[in-house]
Amino acid sequence: MTKRTRRHTQDKDSAINAFMSKPEIFADLFNAYLYEGEQVIQPEALVPADRLLSEVIGNARGQAKLTRYRDVFMAYRDKNASYILLGIENQSAIHYAMPLRNMIYDALSLLARVRQKSARHLALKDLKRPDEFLSRFAKTDHIDPVFTLTVYYGHVPWDGPFSLHDMIRFPDEKLKRFIPDYFINLVVPAKLGDEMLARLNTELSEVFWCIRLAGNKEAFDAYIINHSKFKEMSYEAVQMINACTHANIPVKQDGEKVNMCQAIIDLKQEAYDNGFQKGEESGFQKGEESGFQKGEESGFQKGEESGILQSSSRIAINMYRSKYDMQEIVRLTGLTSEAIEKLVKAHSEERR
């Protein structure tokens, strides 16, 4: 991996982890997945857990240190003062050993809780039974549950294993029932259905919608322009969208709200303006009086005799249907009010 590629990957991972680490986003995802949208996990009850998992394996004759880092890891204290450990593993690429990887993460997290119990017993010297003293874990002890979600942001279908058994080649199928399986809890934003997306109550919904539509630029742009929630997106959310969709939405600085609707319109207007300056090279056709190129590569509409740029036309229609002020549509698309009215009328007749 080149330095440039490595840096890009690190930046992308940082953007994803920063967004998914926000307590309200973290809680929203787990409420949607675990509780079907019911607001059980409260953001204010989440506290960051130690992402570093380290354990010495072996005995005095031979030891090895096993160290792993979790992407996002939090502890949740419920109304009964019980703790649940929740982790997110973010994947931009398919990991063909994910079940084993997550199993190790969860096992190390559970082992750490056992070590804490053991250390407390040693300090209090309260283990009386020989078998409890041997294990340094009392019969009445319990440890906190650990639950991990794997979020895969790619658009290539996940063809990796879903469980530990998927990774194992069994010479005899009868062995399966004697070897415990371990499943991954996989979330794929690009493939999420409307029902699952409707369970989300934060801007995570808008982010996942953008990832889902990333393969269709026209639908991607139209969705953003037609939804008012995109007018006030957090810095972290826009960085997340940029990292997962290559949208290149400009962001000024951390902490500012971003109007993605305006940003998309500005980017389209900039492309439109540059197209006029570059002439043929930008995607216009020589031969027609309108000066626009027919070809698909330019992204412009052949048009009937109007010769109007497809992207500007669609933006104008979407904005009109979303009840934007006419003067604002004129300013942002560069079209006249008369042209916009004709477009809307023609579009309405086509839909009939």
Residue 182 Rama label (left phi>0; alpha psi -120 to 50; beta): beta
Mean pLDDT of 189-214: 96
Q: Identify each DSSP E strand in the chain by its residue range.
A: 46-48, 52-59, 62-69, 72-77, 83-91, 146-152, 185-187
* Residue pLDDT, tens place only, 162-191: 999 999 999 999 999 999 999 999 999 999
In the numeric block, the tokens 């009109």 are attached to 320
Q: How far apart are CA 334 and CA 242, in angstroms?
A: 27
| Residues paired with residue 148 on neighbouring β-strands, in sequence order | 87
Q: Tell me the residue type at 99.
A: P
pLDDT at 252: 73
Q: How far apart are CA 122 and CA 134, in angstroms?
A: 11
pLDDT at 344: 79
Q: Worst-scoring range by mean pLDDT, 107-116, 160-169, 274-283, 341-350?
A: 274-283
Mean pLDDT of 293-317: 52
Q: How far apart are CA 301 and CA 317, in angstroms?
A: 14
For residue 307, pLDDT beyond 50:
no
Highest mean pLDDT among 72-81, 179-188, 250-259: 179-188
Mean pLDDT of 127-149: 91
pLDDT at 43: 96
Mean pLDDT of 228-235: 92
For residue 281, pLDDT beyond 80:
no
pLDDT at 320: 76
For residue 275, pLDDT beyond 70:
no
Q: Could you tell me the pLDDT band of residue 193, with boundaries at 50, 70 and 90?
A: very high
- Tokens (6 digits) for 314: 């669609």
Cβ-contact 335, 272 below 8 angstroms: no
**Is residue 168 classed as helix, strand or coil in its secondary structure?**
coil
User: What's the pTM?
Assistant: 0.75
Q: How far apart are CA 120 and CA 135, in angstroms?
A: 13
Mean pLDDT of 98-124: 93
Q: Could you tell me the pLDDT band of residue 334, with boundaries at 50, 70 and 90?
A: confident
Task: Tell me the Cα Rg of the chain.
Answer: 27
For residue 245, pLDDT beyond 90:
yes
Q: How far apart are CA 204 and CA 23, in angstroms?
A: 12
For residue 288, pLDDT beyond 50:
no
In degrees, rounded to 5, the angle at the alpha carbon of residue 264 between the alpha carbons of residues 261 and 265 is 85
Query: What residue segments make up the domains of the chain, in order of their start?
Result: 3-202
| Residues paired with residue 72 on neighbouring β-strands, in sequence order | 88
For residue 103, pLDDT beyond 90:
yes
The more confident residue out of 309 and 238 is 238
pLDDT at 220: 93
- Tokens (6 digits) for 98: 């994910």
Distances from the Cα of 38 to the Cα of 42, 143, 144, 152, 229, angstroms: 11, 25, 22, 23, 22
pLDDT at 36: 94
